[in-house]
Amino acid sequence: MTLPGSPFLAYRGKELFLDDCSLDELASRHGTPLYVYSQAAMLDALAPYQRGFAGREHLICYATKANSNLAVLQTFARAGCGFDIVSGGELERVLAAGAAADKVVFSGVGKTRAEMQRALEAGVLCFNVESEAELEVLSQVAVAHGRTARISLRVNPDVDANTHPYISTGLKGNKFGIAHDRALETYRRAAALPGLEVAGIDCHIGSQITAHGPYLDALDRVLDLVEAIEAAGIPLHHLDLGGGLGIRYTDEQPPSADTLIGHLLRRIDERGHGHRPVMMEPGRSLVGNAGVLLTEALYLKPGAAKNFCVVDAAMNDLMRPAMYQAYMRIEPCRLRDEPASTYDVVGPVCESGDWLGRDRELAVRAGDRLAVLSAGAYSMSMASNYNTRGRAAEIMVAGGQAHLVRERENPAELFRGERLID
């Protein structure tokens, strides 16, 4: 029985498999909490992006923040992807994974001078500049180090992507990008500053978008700007359309990537911009349904108003439910032939917000392993050490083999850099 969201995750009899690996056996061998990813699922999710752009000059830049494990980055680098980064640390990660610096775009609202300098030295493809103040600082850093920074401006088109407010990025009230009505003047300033080369225009309106309409609305506003900017004598080379395409967690029906890209390219062609290279920055849609979080049920705790299934994974391992009230499907790794009961699945962290799922129908006993689905994106990458909890181990299933791609942290590692006072 294949589960919604991924053809690579299915029950074989009573046992849950990811690709050809039993998740219960992986949990037994490596312990829990444990993240497990399918490389085949990631490449399967990438394929419609590649089909959609076939025959067009383009660059698919994986959004590193979604899942920055080196083996994940290596997978996309070998598949020909570039990378969208938002910090100096992410730059070092993608380089360590074998990425070419000239296929890296550097986004983010708070780049430091040191990060700018390192990115210039590495030779990144482009800086996606998010404020007029950043533009001035990048010019100073480039001149001081004898470099030229290729830039695009991230424009905020004030388009509602109809997503959770915490993951909306394209509205006037969001911190991201340069206001649409300031963009032309800011491009004029960029063209006049030393050490900068205007290369393109960028737009990203949010995350977990499940319809193509907001993308087309944003694209039209961006193309209006392109025409105004070039009429002012400032040529633009590429269009960066951002990312944000959603995945299925429950009953969502996002368009396939090739369908979305088809709509976007047709609109670009209709408006006379088909000669421009196009970039996209997908993250969640490439890795979200390629991963699961495995956890063990520690205790079943009946209550007057709620029954609780206390597990060994917590909000420090998986922040999305506490942060976004996100729904993530939870399945037993081995099915039981007994009636299900209703549980809140909660972790051991000392916060009432430490829950992984509410009101779940589960046939479960203490010692059983559960799989939290759709955990490949914004899960391990957001993990913390709250309550002095070591972060989980990570497994990549590739070529029929399960590879340990991150070891579990131990307590000594967590306070290695700390010092007692004499």
253-267 tens-digit pLDDT: 999 999 999 999 999
pLDDT, the chain, mean: 94
Residue 170 above 50 pLDDT? no
pLDDT value at residue 163: 47
pLDDT value at residue 4: 66
Residue 169 above 70 pLDDT? no
pTM for the structure as a whole: 0.94
pLDDT over 70 percentage in the chain: 95
Q: Which of 61, 203, 309, 350 is catalytic?
A: 350
Question: Picking from 4-8, 46-50, 342-346, 382-386, which range would have the lowest pLDDT averaged per residue?
Answer: 4-8
Amino acid at 110: G
Contact 99, 125 (CB under 8 A): no
Q: Boundaries of CATH 3.20.20.10 in the chain?
A: 107-282
Residue 396 above 60 pLDDT? yes
Mean pLDDT in residue range 283-303: 97
* Residue whose structure tokens are 């030229």: 148
User: CA angle 224-161-158, nearest 5°?
Assistant: 40
Residue 93 above 80 pLDDT? yes
Supply the Cα-derived Rg of the chain in whole angstroms. Answer: 23
pLDDT value at residue 159: 73
Confidence of residue 175 (pLDDT cuts 50, 70, 90): low
Between 2 and 32, the more confident residue is 32
Q: For domain 9-38+288-414, which architecture applies?
A: Beta Barrel (2.40)
pLDDT value at residue 176: 66
* pLDDT tens digits for range 229-238: 999 999 999 9
Q: How far, in Å, CA of 83 to CA of 64, rounded?
A: 6
DSSP state of 256: P
Phi and psi based region of residue 325 (left: phi greater than 0; alpha: psi -120 to 50; beta: remaining): left
DSSP state of 133: H
Question: Picking from 37-46, 121-130, 204-213, 275-284, which range would have the lowest pLDDT averaged per residue?
Answer: 204-213
Residue 350 is a catalytic residue: yes
Q: How far, in Å, CA of 63 to CA of 81, rounded?
A: 10
Q: How far, in Å, CA of 322 to CA of 179, rounded?
A: 31
Residue 167 above 60 pLDDT? no
Distances (CA, A) of 29 to 371, 395, 410: 15, 11, 17
Residue 173 above 70 pLDDT? no
Enter the CATH code of domain 107-282: 3.20.20.10
Length of the chain: 422
Confidence of residue 208 (pLDDT cuts 50, 70, 90): confident
pLDDT value at residue 329: 97
Six-digit token string for 173: 């009230």
Mean pLDDT in residue range 28-50: 98
* pLDDT tens digits for range 334-375: 999 999 999 999 999 999 899 999 999 999 999 999 999 999
Amino acid at 94: V
pLDDT over 90 percentage in the chain: 85
Q: Boundaries of CATH 2.40.37.10 in the chain?
A: 9-38+288-414
pLDDT value at residue 160: 57
Enclosing H/E stretch for 139: helix 132-144
Mean pLDDT in residue range 14-25: 97
The tally of CA atoms less than 13 A away on the side-chain side of residue 158 is: 8
Mean pLDDT in residue range 373-386: 97
Mean pLDDT in residue range 239-264: 93
Question: Picking from 51-60, 211-220, 350-359, which range would have the lowest pLDDT averaged per residue?
Answer: 211-220
pLDDT value at residue 203: 92
Residue 303 above 90 pLDDT? no
Please provide residue 223's backbone torsions phi and psi, each rounded to the nearest 5 degrees: -65, -35
Question: Picking from 49-53, 170-174, 349-353, which range would have the lowest pLDDT averaged per residue?
Answer: 170-174
Mean pLDDT in residue range 78-95: 98
Question: Picking from 190-194, 287-291, 323-327, 340-344, which range would have the lowest pLDDT averaged per residue?
Answer: 323-327
Contact 198, 236 (CB under 8 A): yes
pLDDT value at residue 252: 86
User: CA angle 272-275-279, nearest 5°?
Assistant: 110
Six-digit token string for 144: 């001081």
